[in-house]
């Protein structure tokens, strides 16, 4: 069954989702929500990878998606551990209240 949705539509949708993630990263202060916005951006890229893979009939795109998912899982583990450590030290998860590295 061949779909009648052009590739461009998937790419524009992916661009929208990526930009939503960027807005989240720039405008939010809560480190956990910034982290979730980064996941949004990773998933937007995954969508365009799968779209390219399906339209060009090349499996490489889907392989990339698996590796991106693995890296995202690693990033989730380390990122959330950093948020935990940060909260223990500063009693806050707001990124603008963390300025130890600023001088």
Instruction: Report helix, strand or coil for 100.
Output: coil
**Minimum gap (Å) between residue 49 Cβ and another protein:** 9
Strand partners, 94: 30
**Minimum gap (Å) between residue 25 Cβ and another protein:** 8
State the residue for tokens 């806050």.
92
**Minimum gap (Å) between residue 67 Cβ and another protein:** 6
> For another protein, which is the closer residue by CB, 62 or 98?
62
> For another protein, which is the closer residue by CB, 2 or 102?
2
> For another protein, which is the closer residue by CB, 54 or 98?
54
Q: Is 81 exposed, middle or buried (0-12, 13-18, 19+ CB in 10 A)?
A: exposed
């Amino acid at each position: 069954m061949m779909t009648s949705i052009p590739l461009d539509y998937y790419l524009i949708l992916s661009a929208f989702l990526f930009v939503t993630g960027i807005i989240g990263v720039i405008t939010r202060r809560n480190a956990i929500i910034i982290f979730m916005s980064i996941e949004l951006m990773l998933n937007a890229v995954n969508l365009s990878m799968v779209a390219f893979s399906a339209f060009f009939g090349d499996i490489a795109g889907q392989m990339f998606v698996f590796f991106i998912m693995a890296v995202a899982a690693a990033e989730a583990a380390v990122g959330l551990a950093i948020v935990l450590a940060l909260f223990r030290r500063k009693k806050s998860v707001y990124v603008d209240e963390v300025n130890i590295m600023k001088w």
